[in-house]
Chains A and B, each alone.
Chain A
Amino acid sequence: MASLCRQIVRGNTLRRVLFSSASSARRGYADQMMPDPLEHATGMERKELLAMEAGNDDPFNMKVLKKSAGTRENPTLVPSCFDARIVGCICEEHSTVVTWLWVHKDHPRRCECGHWYKLIEKELP
C-alpha cells in the first residue's frame, strides 16, 4: 500500500514537471481539458470560426452593404458566387421603399437614383 502511494505521488510529480511548462495553468489529474474549440469544429462551423478569427465578422455576406461613392468609375461592389445578384437600393437615407434591381456579371448597372453597382466574384469563406 505504501509503495503504491509512493508510486502515485511520484507519477504525479513527474507529470507536473513534464507538463507544467506546456500549459499556462498548472493542472492535476482532476482537470483534464476538453478539445480546443477550433480543432473540434469542422465543416461550415469551422470555416465560420476561421473567418471570424481572421477579422471577417460577416463571412456569408448577410449584412447590408455599405454604399461607396456609387459613381460610374467607382461603383458599389456587390459580391456574388453567381453570375447575377438582386440588389435592393436604399436610394436615400429616409427612403420608405427599396428599389430592387438585378446586377449582372461584367455589366455595371445604375439604379434610377443614379447610384452605380458592379458585380464582383465573392471570395469563398
Chain B
Amino acid sequence: MKNFNHPYHLVDYSPWPLTSAIGVLTLVSGMVKWFHNFNLNLTILGYLITLLSMYQWWRDICREGTLQGNHTILVTKGLRWGMILFITSEVFFFLSFFWAFFHSSLSPNIEVGTTWPPIGIMPFNPFQIPLLNTIILITSGITITWAHHAIMNNNFNQMKQGLLTTILLGFYFTILQGFEYIEAPFSIADSIYGSTFFMATGFHGLHVIIGSLFLLICYIRHINNHFSMNHHFGFEAAAWYWHFVDVVWLFLYISIYWWGN
C-alpha cells in the first residue's frame, strides 16, 4: 500500500552511511598517523572502506532509480535541488581560494618584494600549455552538449561517441596538468605564490578527475542501457558538474595564469 498513493521515495534501510562513517574516521586517523611519520597501513584501510562504501551506495541508488523505478518526477526534482545546492557549495569552496589569491596578489607585501609574481618566482607562460588546456576544456563543453542532444534525441551511438570524447578530453587535460606540475620551476612551498597557485589549481585538478570519473560512470551506465531520452538525470548532473569545473578553470586561467603573470 505504501508504494501506491504518494510520489515519494521511502528509502530502505542501508548499511552504507554507517560503513562510510567508519571509513572516513579510519581514513582521517590513518592520515594523522601518516603525518606523524608512521606507516600508511591505516590510511590504505580507510581508503579501502570508503571506496567500497561509495561504490555500493551509488550502485544501490542506480538500482533504485533505474531498476526499481523509484525516481518519480517529484523525486527527480529533489535530486536536482540536491545537485544545485552541492555545486553552489563548491562555488564557495573555490571562492575562498580566489580570495586568498587576490588578497595576496592585489597588494603584494614587503616579504614578497611588493611585486606580483613575487621576486624569484618564474610563472608559467599562459599561452603555452595553459592555453591548450583552456581549449581542451571548452571543447569538452561542446562535446558534452553533443552527447546531451544525442540522448534527448534517443540516439544511442552519438551519445556514446560524444560522452567518450568528453571523457578522453578530460583525461588529456589531467595528463597535461600532470606534466605541467612535474615541469614547474616553483613548488607549493615557494612563497604565497606557490601556495595559492597549487592550492587552487590542485583542487581544480582533483575536481576534473572526479568529474571525469562521474562521466565515465555515466558512460558505463549508458552502455548498460540505464538511460532513456527522459530518464538520464545521472548524466545531467555529471554535465552540470563538468560545466562547473570548466567555468572554474576559465577563472583560474584568466586570474592566476594570465593576470597573475
Contacts and interface: CB of A to CB of B under 8 A. Distances in A.
Contact of A35 (B70, B74, B225): B225
B1 A33 contact: no
Nearest to A80: B5
Counting chain B residues whose Cβ lies within 8 A of the other chain, the interface size class is 20 to 34
Interface string A10-48: 000000000000000000011111111100111111101
Given A35-B225, A125-B4, A45 B69 contact: yes
Given A31-B155, A31-B158, A34-B229, A44 B3 contact: yes
A31 B154 CA distance: 9
A40 B158 contact: no
Contact of B231 (A29, A41, A59, A124): A41
B156 interface: yes
A45 B227 contact: no
Interface residues of A, number: 25
A81 interface: yes
A66 B230 CA distance: 30
A40 B232 CA distance: 11
Given A31-B155, A35-B225, A48 B1 contact: no
B71 interface: yes
Contacts of A61: 5
A31 B151 CA distance: 11
B155 to A, nearest CB: 6
A60 B155 contact: no
Contacts of A40: 225, 228, 231
Nearest to A124: B4
B20 to A, nearest CB: 26
Interface in A41-68: 41-46, 48, 59-62
A72 interface: no
Contacts of A37: 228-231
A62 B5 contact: no
Interface of B: 1, 3-7, 67-74, 151, 154-159, 225, 227-231
Given A59-B7, A60-B5, 7 more contacts: A30-B158, A31-B155, A32-B155, A34-B156, A35-B228, A44-B70, A60-B74
